[in-house]
Amino acid sequence: MTEHSVAIKKLVGLVDHKNLLDNGHTLKQLVHTVTASIQSLQAPVYFTLRAYGGWYSGNSITDERYEAITYYQDYCPTVLKTEAGLVRLSLQFADELAVSQERKAKVPITHTVNVRGSSEIKITKSLTDKCHASGCELTEVRKWVRKKTACGASHCGHQFSDFFQRQEQKQVDVHLALDLVWLAARESSDTAIVVVSDDIDILPAIIQASLQNPKRLLLHVRSATRRPTYQDALLSDLGIQQAIM
């Protein structure tokens, strides 16, 4: 058989949950995009979704996790009919490394949300740049950003962190990348690995997985809003399929 000519019976989807929702996509759209992109599917197809995100603040479950549970309960049917045939769906939250599936000692991944009190805004344009819109307050906003106070009033004595917090995901990209490389090496030949993310941080892991196992069918799903990257040509040369939602 030639590369990627094996009939695909199973799909493992590694989904950056925030990327999926931030671009307004649904799971139904994702499933139809994936099944339309892989020509060698053999129905019924078993599609396991692993959802990655900021599920834990310390050891405590975050609101984002509860919102994601509701989202998947509402939009993750057990069976979905596509042009390629029936697709049976199952969901996993990526709460541990995928390698834990073959190890007696599980490796949980927590502390995936970090809180910053700083606004972390940088002024990159010259202060001489002007906005000509009527009533523009660009100059005052710049002053507020430089001061890092809670509001734009000149007499404000409160810091930004007194009233606002900035949350950011931690470990999520690395966790997804490690699982990708491990699963691409371990899964059976009739399983395709689907990576759903706009984050270019994941590209080296996709390339690594392909180089380690050239016969593994890898599909990278991204949104139409993501700009082309310097690695896109290499992904194509390696036979990594790409799909746009």
Express each pLDDT in 71-127 by its tens digit: 888 887 899 999 999 999 999 999 999 999 887 778 899 999 987 655 566 666 665
CA distance 176 to 152: 40
DSSP β-ladder status, 191-196 and 166-169: unpaired
* pTM over cut 0.75: yes
Q: What is the pLDDT of residues 23-72, one digit of tens each?
A: 888 899 999 999 999 999 999 999 999 999 999 999 999 999 999 999 88
Give Cα separations from 186 to 12, 70, 210, 239, 242 (angstroms).
12, 31, 13, 19, 22
